[in-house]
Amino acid sequence: MITAGIIGATGYAGVELFRLLLAHESVKKIAVSSVSFEGQSIDDLYPSLYSLKALHNGQGMAEKCGGLLEDAQTVVEKSDIVFTALPHGLAEQYAEICVKTGKKLIDLSADFRFDQDEAIFAQWYKKNWERPGVHAEAAYGLPELYREKIRAARIVGNPGCYVTSAILALLPALKHGMVDTNTVIVDSKSGVTGAGRNNAMTYNFCECGESISVYAVGSHRHQPEIKHHCDIAAGKDCGIVFTPHLLPMSRGIITDVYAPLSEQFMAKAAGEGILEKIRVCYADFYRDEPFVRVLREGKMPATRNVRYSNYCDIQVFAVLGNKMLQVVSVLDNMVKGAAGQAVQNMNLLASFPETQGLEMIPPAF
């Protein structure tokens, strides 16, 4: 049993994390902070959390957390594991304290997503590292790719939502040399929660409802993050085109990945059927992963099938006369794409069962 702390608990990722931790049986206490709302109660902002009488045998939310939003310092002091859910560029200071005091930290921003590569971070986030030393303690929190590194780390950089959907779609292909990595197209579509708690008119119901738009073409910060970890997984340079779209729905990402099948894979697959070969590779790769479901043939991914759960569903296709791989993945951007994956990382850091607190079954509607 641990005490968990959330710095930045009133953003969308923060409050989703709070909800998951309230139901997590190995989390005894939760401390929460907010700069904007310090001194208020979290259920004042999010009335869904009011009272919660039915929780913990009638003790409600109070058993784990009074709900009071404190300052970040206090949260760090009280906690065994700290989650930072802050704008980019603010987590290092807390990471340093955690490293010094033997605590662990899971950061939901981009601050620890590029391993030792400060240059990429600086290029895309217009900011240098202030405490370079702490980055040596960090692992990238995609368990399907770096599970053992995460277990051994003190700091975890929780992946971007789009990035999780893209890498999980590509990983078996990259590991098997299945595709030519020069021209990998990643066409993603996300619900509005992806923008976080954001009062721009862009996310007003009247302006994004009943409409789809494209944005940040060629300039989205998840592009270098996808590329960085694909390069590592493939063992070579990948050319990634990444396009995000904004959908008229709250939760969920669907990502279509297109990449030419490699000559060697097509040669190897000759005789047995390329699609079947692809399918077997993917199914084998994810067989023991608790949160990745490779769909049966003929089934089409839909975000509704993973909503409010930590699952990522994947389907594979051979298109363009069997010369191109297409993979479609879906996940809930707030769960596997953010708070759920953070809890999965906490479970690894704390040696809890990896699925603990993440058994949510996606509702049918």
**Residues 54-93 within binding reach of its own copies (CB under 8 A):** 54-58
Burial of 209 per CB tally in 10 Å (0-12, 13-18, 19+)? exposed
324-363 binders of its own copies (CB under 8 A): 324, 326, 328, 330, 334, 353, 355, 358-363
Does 129 interact with its own copies (rule: CB under 8 A)? no
Among candidate residues 65, 98, 161, 230, the one labeled active-site is 161
Smaller CB separation from its own copies, 98 or 234: 234
Window 133-192: residues binding its own copies (CB under 8 A): 183, 185, 187, 189, 191-192
Q: With CB under 8 A as the contact rule, which of the stretches 27-35, 156-164, 171-179, 309-317 interacts with its own copies?
A: 309-317
CA-based end-to-end distance of the chain: 34
- Asked if residue 32 binds its own copies (CB under 8 A), the reply is no
* Angle subtended by helix axes 143-152 and 340-349, to nearest 10: 40
Quick one: which of 138, 131, 166 has its CA closest to 152?
Answer: 138
Alpha-carbon distance of 142 to 163, in angstroms, equals 10
Which listed residue (100, 126, 210, 297) binds its own copies by CB under 8 A? 210
- Dump the DSSP string for 249-260: SSS-EEEEEEEE
Q: Between residue 255 and residue 294, which ones bind its own copies under the rule CB under 8 A? A: 256, 258, 260, 289-291, 293
Of the candidates 145, 23, 165, 20, the one whose C-alpha atom is nearest the C-alpha of residue 85 is 20
CA atoms within 13 A on the CB side of 292: 26
Q: How many residues bind its own copies (CB under 8 A)?
A: 101
Cα 287 to the chain's mean position, in Å?
Answer: 20
Stretch that binds its own copies, among 119-127, 152-160, 276-284, 313-321 (CB under 8 A): 313-321
The interface region with its own copies, picked from 25-33, 74-82, 263-271, 321-329 by CB under 8 A, is 321-329
Distance CA 18, CA 4 (A): 9
Nearer to its own copies, 76 or 238 (CB): 238
Q: Which of 94, 352 has the CB closer to its own copies?
A: 352
What part of residues 217-236 is at the interface with its own copies (CB under 8 A)?
Answer: 217-218
Q: Examine the residue annotation and report whether 208 is marked as an active-site residue of this protein.
A: no
Q: Which residues pair with 328 in a beta bridge?
A: 256, 315
Residues with Cβ within 8 Å of residue 11, at least 6 apart in sequence: 85, 86, 196, 197
**Using the rule CB under 8 A, is 297 a contact of its own copies?**
no
Query: Closest CB to its own copies among 137 and 180?
Result: 180
Task: Give the residue numbers annotated as catalytic, written as ranges.
Answer: 161
